[in-house]
Structures are given as structure tokens and as C-alpha cells.
Amino acid sequence: MSYQEKRTIVNILSGVPVLIAYGIYVFIRTRSGSVEPNDLRFWGITMLTFIGIGVASGIILQILFHIGLSISIAIKTGDGKEREVERDIEATIVEDEMDKLIELKSLKLGFSITGTGFVIALIYLAFSGSAAGMLNIMFFSFGIGSISEGFLSLRYYRKGLKNG
């Protein structure tokens, strides 16, 4: 498995648990009746907290991944060859036009899902849905869009981009 695929998996792994944790937390809180459906302050704080957790966990996982990668390259290359290790690391983490194209195509899917989620949220509001419901639909559409981006990137790395 290539560096790019591993990096994408790490991205997915940092996003999925946070979205699931948010879903469970919200489910428990609303089920217990401790949250007013239209207490927007609660939803704002909760979403901001989970976004923060998501960003922080993503950064930490990426740092750990890159440390692990560097160690594995150093072990493979052998001791006492610092320059070769550095060269191998640089050669591994290089980002080229194919990566950028895959990122662009995946982002397009992410935006489509997020945009669709936004429209669904507006329709929900138009049919007298609550503001909290609308916020949650948008939050989940952002999360699902981001995760889908990762899966599509993985697919492109596996199957390739036939048309360049």
C-alpha cells in the first residue's frame, strides 16, 4: 500500500469515529430529555467541540503516522545512512499532479454531498422542521462529505485515473 493510500486511510480513521461519537452523544442527550430541541447554544457548543476534537485528532494521527513512516523507512534503509533515509522519506511523501487531480476530483464529490445536505436541510426547514434539526443535517452532511472524499480518493489510487 502506498504512502498516499495510508495517509487517506488515516484521514478517514480520524473522521469516522468523531462523527459516530457525535451521533451517539446527541442521541443519548436528546433521548434523556436533557436538551431542549431548540436550544441553539447547546448545539453550537456541541458541534464546535466535536469539530475541535476532529481537527485535533486528525493532526495527532497524522503526526503519529508520519513518525511511524519515517521510522519504518529508516529501519528499511539501515543504520548510518542518514542522507539516504532523508532521500527515501522525501521520495515517499512527494505530492505530484496525480495526487492533486485525485484530491480535486474527491473534493468535488465532498462538495456535492455537502451541498445536497444543505439543500435537504433547507427543505427540512421549509417543512417546519426545527433549527436544531437543520444544523444536524448540515453537520452530518459535512462529515459524510469529508469521509466520502477519503473513500473516493482511495478508489482512485486503486483503480487509477484513466482520462488524466
Partner 1 sequence: MVKKYEITNRIRELRFFAEEMTQQELARRAGVSRQTIIAVEAGKYAPSLEMAFRIADVFGVAITEVFACKVSEIEGKKG
Residues near partner 1, by CB under 8 A: 2-5, 87, 91-92, 94-99, 157, 159-164
The smaller minimum CB distance to partner 1, of residues 2 and 38, is found at: 2
> How many residues in the chain?
164
Residue type, 136: N
The smaller minimum CB distance to partner 1, of residues 41 and 162, is found at: 162
How far apart CA 81 and CA 63 sit, in angstroms, is 23
**For residue 136, which of 59, 68, 40 has the smallest C-alpha distance?**
40
CB of 151 to partner 1, least distance (A): 17
Give Cβ neighbours of residue 161 (< 8 Å, ≥ 6 apart): 98, 101, 102, 105
Give Cβ neighbours of residue 68 (< 8 Å, ≥ 6 apart): none
The smaller minimum CB distance to partner 1, of residues 4 and 46, is found at: 4
The smaller minimum CB distance to partner 1, of residues 142 and 156, is found at: 156
CB of 15 to partner 1, least distance (A): 22
CB of 36 to partner 1, least distance (A): 50
CB of 160 to partner 1, least distance (A): 2
